[in-house]
Structure 1
Amino acid sequence: MSEAEILDRLRQILHDSFGIEPARVVPETHLFEELDLDSIDAVDLAIKLQELTGRRIKPEEFRNVRTVADVIVAVESLLKS
């Protein structure tokens, strides 16, 4: 899965789960500051990403995720493992 495909899937997840307009979801976007996600939303997002990748996300790997680009890197890492 390419970065663009991951970004498209992430846009879809954020729109379906949190009502966030896909146009707002770009790599530089901060999840908590700009998209107003909270810690519970982050857990929900991690679960959705686990479903997307078929792999478990370790909490310590997701703890440092702050931007959409960080999520893309985390998904790429999961897909490679």
Structure 2
Amino acid sequence: MQTHDEVFTILRAALIELFELAPEQISLEANLYDDLEIDSIDAVDLIDHIKRQTGKKIAAEEFKAVRTVGDVVEAVLRVVNTPAAN
């Protein structure tokens, strides 16, 4: 199980690495599209990166509702803390 802060740290590092963002641009309140200029193709790359890091995939439908970095953190927490179906 990961904590909110751990997920934010991993996500922040991913945003810096994948999209060459400055660390100070990334806060929980930062809007992915307006503040960080992440487009739909970038979002797919981010979902793929999250899957590689966590071993679990965020559904595209769930990601459509994401607007801020904080929303992504919450979506990741829901996925990684959900027990696997048997």
**Shorter-chain TM-score range:** over 0.9
TM (normalized to structure 2)? 0.89
SS in 1 for 2:79: helix
1:75 aligns to 2:83 (yes or no) = no
Distance in 2 of aligned mates of 1:22 and 1:78: 25
- 1:6 paired residue number: 7
Distance in 2 of aligned mates of 1:52 and 1:65: 19
User: What percent of counterpart residues are identical?
Assistant: 38
Structure 1 unaligned segments of length 5 or more: list them.
none
Distance in 1 of aligned mates of 2:63 and 2:14: 17
TM (normalized to structure 1)? 0.94
CA deviations 1:46-69 (Å, max 9, x no partner) are: 111111211122111111111001
**Partner letter of residue 5 of structure 2?**
A
Deviation at 1:15, TM superposition (A): 0.7
Structure with larger Rg: 2
How much is the aligned-residue C-alpha RMSD, in angstroms?
Answer: 0.8
Aligned residues: 81
Deviation at 1:18, TM superposition (A): 0.4
SS in 1 for 2:33: coil
Structure 2 unaligned segments of length 5 or more: list them.
none
